[in-house]
A and B are shown apart, each in its own frame.
Chain A
Amino acid sequence: DVKVTQSSRYLVKRTGEKVFLECVQDMDHENMFWYRQDPGLGLRLIYFSYDVKMKEKGDIPEGYSVSREKKERFSLILESASTNQTSMYLCASRGTSSGPYEQYFGPGTRLTVT
Chain B
Amino acid sequence: AQSVAQPEDQVNVAEGNPLTVKCTYSVSGNPYLFWYVQYPNRGLQFLLKYITGDNLVKGSYGFEAEFNKSQTSFHLKKPSALVSDSALYFCAVRDNRGSYIPTFGRGTSLIVHP
Partner-B contacts on A (CB < 8 A) = 4, 9, 31, 40-43, 45, 48, 50, 58, 90, 92, 97-98, 100, 102-108, 110
Contacts and interface: CB of A to CB of B under 8 A. Distances in A.
Interface in B62-103: 90, 94, 96, 100-102
B106 A106 contact: no
Nearest to B45: A105
Contact of A102 (B41, B49, B96): B49
9 contacts: A41-B106, A45-B101, A92-B44, A100-B94, A102-B34, A102-B49, A103-B36, A103-B102, A110-B41
Contacts, number: 50
Contacts of A9: 41
A97 B42 CA distance: 25
Interface residues of B, number: 22
Interface of B: 9, 32, 34, 36, 41-46, 49, 51, 90, 94, 96, 100-102, 104-107
Q: Is the interface of B mostly helix, strand, loop or mixed?
A: loop
Contacts of A100: 32, 49, 51, 94, 96
B101 A90 contact: no
Given A100-B32, A100-B51, A107-B43, 7 more contacts: A42-B106, A43-B90, A45-B101, A103-B44, A105-B43, A105-B44, A108-B41
B93 to A, nearest CB: 11
Nearest to B34: A102
A90 B44 contact: yes
Contact of A97 (B32, B100, B107): B100
